[in-house]
């Protein structure tokens, strides 16, 4: 039970990677705070007897973020782990990118990560002298977008997605330098093409990968679990690519 009695907030917990992370955490003994815009009913069914708290709302709203953290403290008295997972991905190219889509991806992927990170660290993790922040970024934030099949013009994750995930990576490193003195680590998992709602209906050619298949949410959750555990106490500011080897030069 690598996370026995620890309290973990997971955003985007209703499905995909967030759901798998929540279930794995619960199996390892964690109390899980499920955060999403949509109902987490299916995730709750998978948690078994694990203690949980469901918080539904817009992670881009500072008041909602504060309310989630306050409810977490009221119910569980503390918070040990934060997984910033929820995200959106537009596939419009630069010519067709709208300000609305740009702001949506930046606000959901980067702004919300900042809001939650700030809210759990100050004062809670800082006072406890312990914490684990795990941000889900993307190899798109490292290489400018994962190419998929289909539409040649809009066949990869768009500039807003790549920019937001690049920002998550930079923020991860900055936060790690700032909070290590409080016993808090901050790391990021950077998935490649993974079978979630974001990639549903988008054909991916994985033949150029060392591991010729799409990633599964469990592949990403396994990496998150390591960063969230006490085993990673000497690991911070790391960006772990879980991408089937697509980033190999």
Catalytic site includes residue 234 = no
Q: What is the residue-level pLDDT of the chain in tens, covering all 249 positions?
A: 999 999 999 999 999 999 999 999 999 999 999 999 999 999 999 999 999 999 999 999 999 999 999 999 999 999 999 999 999 998 888 999 999 999 999 999 999 999 999 999 999 999 999 999 999 999 999 988 766 655 555 556 889 999 999 999 999 999 999 999 999 999 999 998 888 877 777 777 788 889 999 899 999 999 999 999 999 999 999 999 999 998 886
Question: What is the per-residue pLDDT for 22?
Answer: 98
- Look at the block and give the residue holding tokens 């998150």: 224
- Look at the block and give the residue holding tokens 């010729």: 212
Q: What are phi and psi of 235, to 5 degrees?
A: -125, 120
Q: What single-letter DSSP state applies at residue 156?
A: B
For residues 85 and 16, give the distance between their C-alpha atoms in angstroms, rounded to a whole number: 10
Cα 119 to Cα 67, 125, 149, 204, distances in angstroms: 10, 9, 39, 37
Determine if the peptide bond prior to 123 is cis (ω within 30°): yes
* pTM beyond 0.85, yes or no: yes
List helix spans (H) across 144-198.
159-179
Question: Exposure of 170 by Cβ count < 10 A (0-12 exposed, 13-18 middle, 19+ buried)?
Answer: middle
Dihedral sign (CA 45, 50, 56, 58):
negative
For residues 127 and 120, give the distance between their C-alpha atoms in angstroms, rounded to a whole number: 10
Whether residue 184 contacts residue 163, with contact meaning beta carbons closer than 8 Å, is answered with no
Residue from 52, 130, 161, 204 carrying the catalytic annotation: 161
HSE at residue 223, side-chain half, CA atoms within 13 A, is 23
Helix (H, G, I), strand (E, B) or coil at 118: helix
Whether residue 224 contacts residue 134, with contact meaning beta carbons closer than 8 Å, is answered with yes
Tell me the helices (H) and strands (E) count for the chain, helix number first.
9, 7
Question: What is the per-residue pLDDT for 138?
Answer: 96
For residues 80 and 219, give the distance between their C-alpha atoms in angstroms, rounded to a whole number: 22
- Look at the block and give the residue holding tokens 């889900």: 136
Set out the domains of the chain in order of their start, with CATH numbers. 7-242 (3.40.50.720)
């Amino acid at each position: 039970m690598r996370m026995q009695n620890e309290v973990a907030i997971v955003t985007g917990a209703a499905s995909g990677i967030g759901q798998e992370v929540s279930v794995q955490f619960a199996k390892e003994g964690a109390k899980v705070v499920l955060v999403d815009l949509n109902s987490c009913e299916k995730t709750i069914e998978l948690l078994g007897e694990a203690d949980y708290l469901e918080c539904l709302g817009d992670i881009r709203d500072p008041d909602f973020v504060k309310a989630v953290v306050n409810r977490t403290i009221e119910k569980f008295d503390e918070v040990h782990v934060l997984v910033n997972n929820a995200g959106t991905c537009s596939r419009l190219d630069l010519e067709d990118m709208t300000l609305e889509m740009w702001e949506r991806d930046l606000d959901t992927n980067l702004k919300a990560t900042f809001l939650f990170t700030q809210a759990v660290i100050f004062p809670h993790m800082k006072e406890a002298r312990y914490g684990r922040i795990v941000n889900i970024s993307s190899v798109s934030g490292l290489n400018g977008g994962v190419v998929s099949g289909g539409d040649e013009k809009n066949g990869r994750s768009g500039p807003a997605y790549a920019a937001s995930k690049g920002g998550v990576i930079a923020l991860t490193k900055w936060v790690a330098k700032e909070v290590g003195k409080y016993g808090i680590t901050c790391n990021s998992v950077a998935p490649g093409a993974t079978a979630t709602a974001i990639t549903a209906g988008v054909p991916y050619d994985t033949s150029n990968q060392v591991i010729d298949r799409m990633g599964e949410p469990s592949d990403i959750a396994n990496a998150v679990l390591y960063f969230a555990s006490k085993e990673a106490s000497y690991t911070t500011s790391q960006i772990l690519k879980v991408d089937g080897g697509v980033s190999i030069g």
